[in-house]
Amino acid sequence: MHLKNAWKHFKTVTAHRREVRRLCFRIGLYRQGLTHDLSKYSPSEFLPGCRHYQGFRSPNDQERQQTGASTAWMHHKGRNRHHFEYWIDYPSQAQRDFLKEGGSRRGLIAQFQAVEMPAKYVAEMFCDRVAACKTYQKESYTQRSPLAYQDRMRPHVFMHPASEALITEFLTVLAEKGEDEACRYVKAYLKNH
């Protein structure tokens, strides 16, 4: 691992966290703003991040491309509730009984449950998406970038329909009305829900 990559990765993670914190504070999520993505500094996430750093996309994508899986991502999604993957649950007992009665594992996988995310974590996901787009797209970022990312990822996402609708709603306000209005909208939504 090159020290140059370690420094660049540290700066990227820190810049991302700073932008998420700024946005979280604007919508009233102070604790989440302060604690957002702290696991990225843990050895389980930081070292693979340095090894696979490119600067224009997540190192997790590069690790996944090179090795077939991202150990850093598996560690990260299990500790950070603003990722919809955190909210995927195991099958119920009835679904496990399906296997005992001769059902296939393939059929069981289709039974996994996407759990609805609490609104405060969807709001943090909004902040995370905006900050990630700003961090990686730099000068080419526009207020439509996070919604465009959401639209590209939609076919590959296993998110509860209500959570997906809410993040899309937040990102649509951003795309159509800008950051100031989107932050006011998300803050008002959290106050009322």
pLDDT(51) > 60: yes
pTM above 0.75, yes or no: yes
Q: How far is CA 6 from CA 2, 52, 61, 78, 132, in A?
A: 6, 10, 17, 23, 19
Contacts of 175 (CB under 8 A, 6+ apart): 143, 144, 146, 147
Which one-letter amino acid corresponds to residue 154? R
Query: Which pLDDT band, with edges at 50, 70 and 90, does 164 fall under?
Result: very high
Residue 43 near residue 55 (C-beta atoms within 8 A): no
Residue owning tokens 């500094």: 41
User: How much is the pLDDT for 192?
Assistant: 96
Which one-letter amino acid corresponds to residue 5? N
pLDDT(40) > 70: yes
User: How much is the pLDDT for 156?
Assistant: 87
Beta bridge partners of 89: 113
User: How much is the pLDDT for 113?
Assistant: 83
| 3-17 average pLDDT score | 94
d(Cα 175, Cα 51) in Å, to the nearest integer? 34
The string of pLDDT tens digits covering residues 83-124 is: 999 999 876 666 666 666 765 555 555 567 899 999 999 999
Residue 135 near residue 114 (C-beta atoms within 8 A): no
Mean of all residue pLDDT scores within the chain: 92
| 139-159 average pLDDT score | 95
d(Cα 86, Cα 80) in Å, to the nearest integer? 7
